[in-house]
């Protein structure tokens, strides 16, 4: 299972520079303030997240080092955290980071088909980024929305109750920069039973 969040390698682009954007710089100091003095290294996870968001969804060598320097930590300590959590991507990802759940409930409800659709639309193999940099398609284990299986996570949001058709539409819309609806694609309220099956 190839996943940019599950590697221990640091990806380095030559001449890459990472500096906090002005907005994020202010957020950094706000985040650090939440932790007691001398315990500010606890802010490493929120700062890595902030850095990842600023750095188009992944952490470069310079981003990791910037976080370390911001918190006066050694590089290896920050890298330990960044490699531990699969949510921190250590390789470049496309604009839409599509994580398709393949654990049993989703698989029974047709996640294999979704994987196929995703590869068709993006023209990228599993674990890879499309040439237009629109998509990175990966398979993941359970994301905890089994009741609305099958589901995928695209960037920060869940898309549930998918089938080949609506998932293809979502991806094509994303490709064309159109807005899409989050959550259940069949109008289900949270995880209520599907309409028509109420009784």
Partner 1 sequence: MPTITIDNKKVEFENGMTVMQACELAGAEIPRFCYHEKLSIAGNCRMCLVEMEKAPKPVASCAMPAGDGMVIKTNTDTVQKARKGVMEFLLINHPLDCPICDQGGECDLQDQALHYGFDKSRYEENKRAVKNKHMGPLVSTIMTRCIHCTRCVRFSTEVAGVDDLGLLGRGENAEITTYLEKTIDSELSGNVIDLCPVGALTSKPYAFKSRPWELTKTETHDVLDGVGSSIRVDSRGKQVLRVLPRINEDTNEEWINDKTRFAIDGLSRQRLDKVYIKNDNKLNVADWDTALNKIKDELNKRGKEKTITLSGKFTDAETIIASKLFLEGLGSNLYDCRFDNAQIIHNESESYKFNSSIQEIENADAILLVGSNPRWEASVLNARIRKAYINNNCKVGVIGPGLDLNYPYTKISNSLSGLNDIKEKKSEFSKIFHNSKNPLIIIGTSAINNSEGASVLKLCADIAKKLPNYSNTFNPLNILNQDISRVGSLELGFVNKYFDNKFEENIKENIKTNKPVIFLLGLDEIDPKNLEQAFVVYIGHHGDLNAQHADIVLPSPAYTEKTSTFMNIEGRVIQTSRCYNPLGEAKEEWKIFRVLSDLMNCDLQFNNLNDVRKHLVDNNKNFLQILECNNTSNLSFASPEVITEHTIAYNISNFYMNDSISRSSETMANCTNEILNKAKAS
Contacts with partner 1 by CB under 8 A lie at 6, 8, 10, 61, 73-77, 79-80, 83-84
CB closer to partner 1 out of 10 and 32: 10
The whole-angstrom separation of Cα 164 and Cα 100 is 13
Query: Which CB atom, from 2 or from 195, has the smaller least distance to partner 1?
Result: 2
Nearest distance in Å: CB 6, partner 1? 7
The minimum distance between CB 90 and partner 1, in angstroms, equals 10
Distance CA 40, CA 50 (A): 16
Q: CB-wise, 103 or 133, nearer to partner 1?
A: 103
Give the C-alpha distances (Å, rounded to integers) separating 28 from 19, 54, 183: 12, 12, 30
Which residues are CB-neighbours of 44 under 8 A, at least 6 positions away?
67, 71, 73, 77, 78, 81
77 versus 125: smaller Cβ distance to partner 1:
77
CB of 8 to partner 1, least distance (A): 4
Cβ(67)–Cβ(61) below 8 Å: no
Taking the complex as a whole, the smallest distance from the CB of residue 61 to partner 1 amounts, in Å, to: 8
Q: How far is the CB of 164 from partner 1 (least distance, A)?
A: 33
- 73 vs 101, beta carbon nearer partner 1: 73
> How far is the C-alpha of 133 from the C-alpha of 186, rounded, in Å?
29
- Going across the sheet that includes 157-160, the strands are 128-129, 135-140, 96-101, 152-154, 157-160, 183-184
């Amino acid at each position: 299972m190839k996943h940019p969040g599950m590697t221990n390698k640091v990806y380095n682009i030559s001449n890459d520079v990472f500096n906090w954007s002005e907005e994020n710089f202010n957020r950094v100091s706000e985040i650090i303030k939440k932790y007691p003095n001398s315990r500010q290294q606890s802010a490493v996870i929120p700062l890595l997240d902030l850095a990842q968001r600023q750095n188009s969804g992944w952490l470069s060598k310079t981003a990791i080092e910037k976080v370390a320097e911001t918190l006066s930590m050694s590089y290896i300590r920050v890298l330990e955290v960044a490699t531990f959590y699969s949510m921190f991507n250590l390789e470049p990802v496309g604009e839409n980071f599509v994580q398709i759940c393949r654990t049993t409930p989703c698989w029974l409800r047709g996640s294999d088909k979704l994987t196929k659709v995703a590869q068709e639309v993006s023209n990228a193999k599993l674990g890879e980024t499309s040439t237009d940099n629109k998509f990175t398609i990966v398979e993941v284990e359970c994301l905890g929305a089994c009741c609305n299986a099958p589901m995928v996570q695209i960037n920060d949001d869940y898309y549930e109750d998918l089938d080949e058709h609506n998932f293809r539409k979502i991806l094509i819309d994303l490709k064309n920069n159109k807005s899409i609806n989050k959550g259940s694609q069949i109008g289900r309220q949270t995880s209520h039973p599907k309409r028509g099956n109420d009784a």
